[in-house]
Amino acid sequence: KTAMQIVEIMKVMEARHPVVMATRVSAEKSAEIQAALPQATYFEMARICAIQPSVPLAIRPGKLSILTAGTADLPVAEEAAVTAELCGFQVTRLWDVGVAGIHRLLSNRHVIDQSDVLIVAAGMEGALPSVVAGLADCPVVAVPTSVGYGASLNGLAPLLTMLNSCATGIG
């Protein structure tokens, strides 16, 4: 969509909903959108342009944690984190806790234990969601990313790993 198409959509939605988000927005488009809608906020890493209510939404119950295997997974994970926060959830972020440095994940075991839902983004071979699901007693949402080198095949390898996980509670 063009920036002006997004502006028109956001104007219509703003009249009906307390939170309006446009996702996958470039910084250039966001500048155009914010020129027309100064109340819009741009979340650069997440690539989300949003209109938020003047009074924050009530905090929703539950503990949501989002984990990434590596720093290359951050844009996808931040998109999920910002979306959840805009919807009223409190989010704990654990970045760069992949299996290549599993000590970083294990040193944050308390976050996994205290979470009600875990969202785990990983590229490369996509092993992190299976490891996390093996440690957790809550639902794990596995999110394959198309980053990585070697034979990640633009996200196909992590997708297949996640679909073939033997860990329970993973989706």
In a shared domain, residues 19 and 71 = no
Counting the structural domains of the chain, the total is 2
In a shared domain, residues 154 and 85 = yes
Residue of higher predicted confidence among 160 and 35: 35
In degrees to the nearest 10, what's the CA dihedral of 46, 31, 10, 77? Answer: 0
pLDDT level of residue 165 (50, 70, 90 thresholds): confident
β-strand pairing of 91-94 with 48-51: unpaired
This prediction has a pTM of 0.89
**Mean pLDDT calculated for residue range 133-161:** 85
In a shared domain, residues 137 and 77 = yes
In a shared domain, residues 33 and 97 = no
In a shared domain, residues 72 and 154 = yes
The pLDDT value recorded for residue 57 is 84
In a shared domain, residues 86 and 45 = no
Specify if 56 maps to a domain: no
Is the CB of residue 140 less than 8 Å from the CB of residue 133? yes
**Mean pLDDT calculated for residue range 82-89:** 95
pLDDT level of residue 148 (50, 70, 90 thresholds): low
